[in-house]
Amino acid sequence: QESMSRSPYLMAGARAGLRLGHAQMVDSVIHDGLWDAFNDYHMGITAENLAEKYAISREEQDRFALRSQQKALAAQQAGCFAQEITPVTVPQPKGEALRVERDEQPRDTSLEALARLRPAFRKEGTVTAGNASSLNDGAAV
């Protein structure tokens, strides 16, 4: 999926017509973009399974995520991605329009901040919002 804000909700069976009763709508961002079709679970569970299989600790994941964020932030500040982004002006309900001209990520974070985050996919898991891939709305030109 190239754009989360343009991703539709899906309704199985609607093409042939729905009979009396309710139909379930499915978020295509999750169903099509974030779902492991081979194992029928969220990709975050795949990340948890791989961390367990290859004995990648929470601290190792956090350290890797921190270094990745630092490198991405330095590259962004150096203008490395400027040619890849088409600025977009977004009207706001009140006030001036918002000009978006850089990625929502990366973030200036710390190992301590990453360590405070709770696991996102399993209660005793190691994958968090800080060391997993971020979800960003985007578009392709």
CATH homologous superfamily, domain 57-133: Thiolase/Chalcone synthase (3.40.47.10)
Confidence band, pLDDT 50/70/90 cuts, at residue 66: very high
Structure tokens at 74: 């330095």
Confidence band, pLDDT 50/70/90 cuts, at residue 81: confident
**Residue 55 pLDDT > 90, yes or no?**
yes
pLDDT at 32: 86
pTM more than 0.75: yes
Instruction: Find tokens 């909700």 and name the residue.
Output: 9
Q: Nearest-CA neighbor of 11 among 25, 22, 21?
A: 25
**Gap between the Cα atoms of 68 and 82, Å rounded:** 18
Domain assignments of the chain as residue spans, ordered by start:
57-133
pLDDT at 127: 98
Residues β-bridged to residue 26: 10
